[in-house]
Structure 1
Amino acid sequence: MSDQQQGGHAGTPELTAADIEQAAALLDAGELVAFPTETVYGLGGDAASPAAVARIYAAKGRPANHPVIVHLPPGGDPQYWAAEWPEAAQKLVEAFWPGPLTLIVKRHARIPDAVSGGQDSVGLRCPSHPVAQKLLAAFSKRRGGHGGVAAPSANRFGHVSPTTAQHVRDEFGAAVHVLDGGACDVGIESTILDLSRGFPALLRPGHVSPLDIARVLGEAPRLPDGSDATAPRASGTLKAHYAPRTPLALLPFEALEPLLAAARDAGETVALVARGSRAGAWASAANVHFVAAPEEPQVYARELYGLLRVLDRANVSRILIEKLPETLEWIAVNDRLGRAAAAFEAQQD
């Protein structure tokens, strides 16, 4: 864990104990609070309250059968929420919590159906962001040590996730109380690992990689290849997701060049996100808003959603993104870009 995650974030507004207690009181009253995690900002509500969870779904425009993740404070008891707690879950908690890993386990009967979209499983995680930890601890204290906060990303369903407090305000205005904890360190949503069926299966890639998981468990998780028909539904796993409002295409650079030429001939301005070594003359073309793609997967992940939001405001007709290497180190960024592009594929056919 980085020093920033443990002690605070550079440039973060100072939040007082009173700010945290005010937010915890709102959660306790069934209201929604947006708060930072190390991954993205979450739109939080009392996970034990079907009414509060319903408010999350309504605010986001989220389908009621799409489950949300329950966030726990450090020292919280995940077994309170679980009907079964596999040995693998305990090993992963000891290795990666607090951190960007969500575990799917069988849901305890006391937990509302609403949290899991009616399924018999529940997703649990403990974030490492200090503001999230303080809020979760304050709320859990109000619930006798068993408080959990359901919190999908704080944005309209299917759109680009927020990595700053301003992104949340851009989505919801003054309708949602926001705790400003600065920019998120990881920048994409948590890894989701299913342990509810007797074997580890990766449902959503993230900062904690399949190799990281394999090192702890001694076996590699199943990867999401579209063939896992019995997998539970999980946050952020619909084919089309994380999409900007501007049409986006994700293709090898050779396939982007005809689109760039066509835009030039039509007098349109397009955005191009590609490695500088590949962009060539297109990087300085008059009709191209060029952004050099980060070369490191973790940097790309941290900057991705902020970049898509900037390009949404750049007055371009289309966002063209160079496809990334299909390797495990790029699996999480490829996943988010692929889902963002999928939102527009039907329109192109």
Structure 2
Amino acid sequence: MPVAPVAWRPDILDGFSCTDLPLVPDARAVGEPETAVGGVLVRRDHDRPVPEWTLPYAPRADDHSQWTDGHSRLTEGHVSRGVDPVRRADDHHAVRAGDPASRTRGHRRAAVLYLHGWNDYFFQAHVADFWARLGYDFYALELRRYGRALRPGQLFGYIDDLGDYSREIDDAVAVLRAEGHDTLVLMGHSTGGLTGALYVDAHPGVFEAVVLNSPWLELSGNPVLRQVVSRVVTGAARMAPTTVLPIADQGFYRRTILASEDGEWAYDTTWKRPNAPIRLGWGRAIVQGQERVAAGLGIEVPVIVLCSDHSATGTTWSDDMARADTVLDADGIARRAPYLGRQVTVVRIHDGLHDLTLSPPPVRAEFFGAVGTWVAAYCEL
């Protein structure tokens, strides 16, 4: 595992740095060139200003009443929709700069480690700003063959066992520990939520809480269809794991988030691309991970699972797709969430997109309000 000192370099995002996490021994897939395989760890810099829109979520050392100003208290599976609106994430007017003292709550130093989803990379700088306001340092792990960690000739996003990601997660945790953090929270989105849940289950004692944003906990469809698809994918992957499945992306989700279409967010479309290749071996890894969840995990720390209050599917565009999860079955996520552990909170976000943090301002305000309330209740430092 890497140890300090770490060679940080400026990141593509303003106010962030990054460093490579090479995998040893070599982890190349069959047919890949002799290029470095590994992850990239991204860190929110301490001197990056904390935007003004995060002010409603600022913790108070002696009073948690602010979590109920505009929000109802959380119950298992419910959150109020009466949330203060949040301004656009690109509004970086700072109330104050990040203060190292604000990141030390009591005598403990806390940090969040974020895992992205399939066909994704970390560009959600506003998520890091939200955690900074709560008093947490923020790190995002770019997994092998994704985003900053993708090298020419590599099989985009490919993995044949989600457990293999434990190598770069272990390395990232080692960096966080070396930088003085003794309290860690894992945050995962979509496939990163599934990967993160499996890691926390297999590595008790590393993370003290888990925040999952639309985690991919089960395949969509009825139970019989899911079993058939699982068996077909698993069987075929044994013979030809890197074969690409003929699955077309109709682009509905991209339309809801990309600034050049109907969305709000600018991102690199070579790292979050249309029609990213889905390979049989990767599909088998997902199925096997979801089967572990279905059998029941034993996560011992508090978990919050947040997902949209509904999904929208179809072969043609409908306006409802702009206020729904068009990628995963939101009801399936909520149904499977209790299988993660003994202390799981489920929150349905009204009109949430697949990545809830990329939803329109009032919707993502509900998301941040729910997470802030939960952190205040379960993650007091």
TM-score range, shorter chain: under 0.3
User: TM-score by structure 1 length?
Assistant: 0.27
